Amino acid sequence: MAIVVKLDDLLHAKRMTLTDLSDRIGITLANLSILKTGKAKAMRFSTLEAICTELECQPGDLLAFETER
């Protein structure tokens, strides 16, 4: 997929686990796991806002576009 979710890097930088994030933003661990592994087909603005608020980042820090070869 051309859109890459860099949730792992952000969590690592904040020394936070996926379970911690799930507890803090109220999104299920299963859904966050889908997002982290790049299996999500779409993302709600509310989810993006919650993650960015908690991890103190910009949407561009979480998502990146990579050209497929």
Partner 1 sequence: MPSTNQTLLRATRGLLWLMLALVIAAALTLVGVAIAVVVAWPNVVAKIQHMPELVDASTMRLPLGILLLLLIAVLGVAAYILRQLQAMVASASRDPFIIENAWRLRRIGWSLVTIQLLALPVHLMAANIAKPGSEFSEMGGLSASSLLAILLAFVLAAVFEQGAAMRDELEGTV
- Residue ranges that bind partner 1, judged by CB under 8 A: 27, 31-32, 34-35, 39-44, 47
Minimum CB distance to partner 1, residue 15 (Å): 23
Whichever of 20 and 69 has its CB closer to partner 1, that residue is: 20
Min dist. Cβ of residue 14 to partner 1 (A) = 19
Q: What is the distance between the alpha carbons of residues 11 and 19, in angstroms, rounded to a whole number? A: 11
User: Alpha carbon of 25 to those of 1, 31, 44, 64, 68: distances in Å?
Assistant: 26, 12, 13, 22, 32
Q: Smallest gap, in angstroms, from Cβ of residue 5 to partner 1?
A: 9
| C-alpha–C-alpha distance, residues 67 and 3, integer Å | 9
